[in-house]
Amino acid sequence: MGQLIFPQHAIEQMQRDVLTEDAIYIVTRDYDECVEQSGGRTEYARALDDGRYVVVVIEDDGQTVETVWCNKRRSRRQRRR
């Protein structure tokens, strides 16, 4: 996968969940799960080193990031001390 295109919606979602472009590239290049959705979109998911489980949806052109989010149910929780 080459350079990704980040529309405003994707950038806003990344800011909301404090995700960098580097994190998005990590998820799309070294994913734990990859699901082809109807309509040609592809959903990539991966647990990051910090425990967050991130999902990235790429449009059928293979370059445009439609949306991103942290799946809080699948994330590893930090223990309270």
Residue 14 CA: distances (Å) to CA of 10, 38, 62: 6, 24, 19
Sheet hosting strand 53-58, strand order edge to edge? 33-36, 42-47, 53-58, 65-70
Q: What amino acid is encoded at 62 in this protein? A: G
3-state secondary structure of 72: coil
Question: pLDDT per residue over 2-52, tens digit each?
Answer: 899 999 999 999 999 999 999 999 999 999 999 999 889 999 999 999 999
Per-residue pLDDT of 12-26, as tens digits, reads: 999 999 999 999 999
